Structures are given as structure tokens and as C-alpha cells.
A = this chain, B = another copy of it.
């Protein structure tokens, strides 16, 4: 398989697949003409990567997960540990965003949003709730 077909079947753009090869996530063989020659297992790996990235795992996590996937003597606890850590990071990020959302939505609601210059959003940014 050439890169175009793999891209289509895995849903990962050619550019990204080349990048994944650069950083050693996949190692396709080469045909006589220099083109990358992907086997089914390469496609499988790329699809795996696509799903892991869609769940927000970092590239380094993906590398770990892939190696665990290929390691028959793995312990599921190792996989779970990676996933739990990532889950916690997601929770932290959500909490942070929700806190921003909270503040911001209050500010947006309190701004009349018309042609006048007075704006509680700017007042808040300029110096906190007791803004000048």
C-alpha cells in the first residue's frame, strides 16, 4: 500500500503519517522506487494511533500504549495506569476550563454590549471586580 491509500483507510493525513515515521511510531518498508510500502500491520498501528490521539493521549503515551499492545507479557495494570493518569489530566483541564467559563460567562452577561464604551469585561481585566 502507498501512503495515500493508508491515509484514506486510517483517516490520518499523509503528512502526519510521515511525521509518525520520523519520530519512530511506524516503520514502513520501502519499495524499489523509494515509496513507502505499508503492510496491513502498519495500517493497523496507524488506526490504533488515530484512536489513541482522538482520546487525547500524547504522542509519548501513544508510544507507550503501542509498545504495551505489542508486548504479550504486559500487565493490564500498566495500561490502566497510563489511562488513569491521562484521565486525571483531562479532569484537571476540564476543571480549569470550567472555572474560566464561569468567570467569563458572568462577565459576558453583565456587559450590555451596545454602542457605549463602558464595559464590565474591560473593567474586570483592568483591575479585578473593584475595577476603577
Chain A interfacial positions (CB closer than 8 Å to B)? 44, 47-48, 51-52, 54-56, 65, 68-69, 72-77, 79-81, 83-84, 86-87, 90-91, 93-94, 97-98, 100-101, 103-105, 107-108, 111-119, 121-122, 124-128
Expressed in whole angstroms, the Cα–Cα distance for A115 and B77 within the complex equals 6
A118 smallest CB distance to B (angstroms)? 6
A126 touches B79 (CB 8 A): no
> B residues within 8 A CB of A128?
51
Beyond A97-B97, A101-B94, is A117–B72 a contact (Cβ under 8 Å)? yes
Interface of A is mostly: helix
Expressed in whole angstroms, the Cα–Cα distance for A79 and B104 within the complex equals 12
A117 touches B48 (CB 8 A): no
Expressed in whole angstroms, the Cα–Cα distance for A115 and B78 within the complex equals 9
Q: A107: which of B83, B91, B114, B119 is its contact (CB, 8 Å)?
A: B83
Beyond the given pairs A76-B113, A79-B111, A90-B97, 16 more chain A to chain B contacts, judged by CB atoms under 8 angstroms and listed by A's residue number, are: A44-B127, A51-B125, A55-B100, A55-B103, A56-B97, A56-B104, A69-B126, A73-B117, A74-B117, A75-B117, A76-B119, A79-B122, A80-B113, A87-B105, A90-B100, A91-B101
Q: A76: which of B72, B90, B98, B116 is its contact (CB, 8 Å)?
A: B116
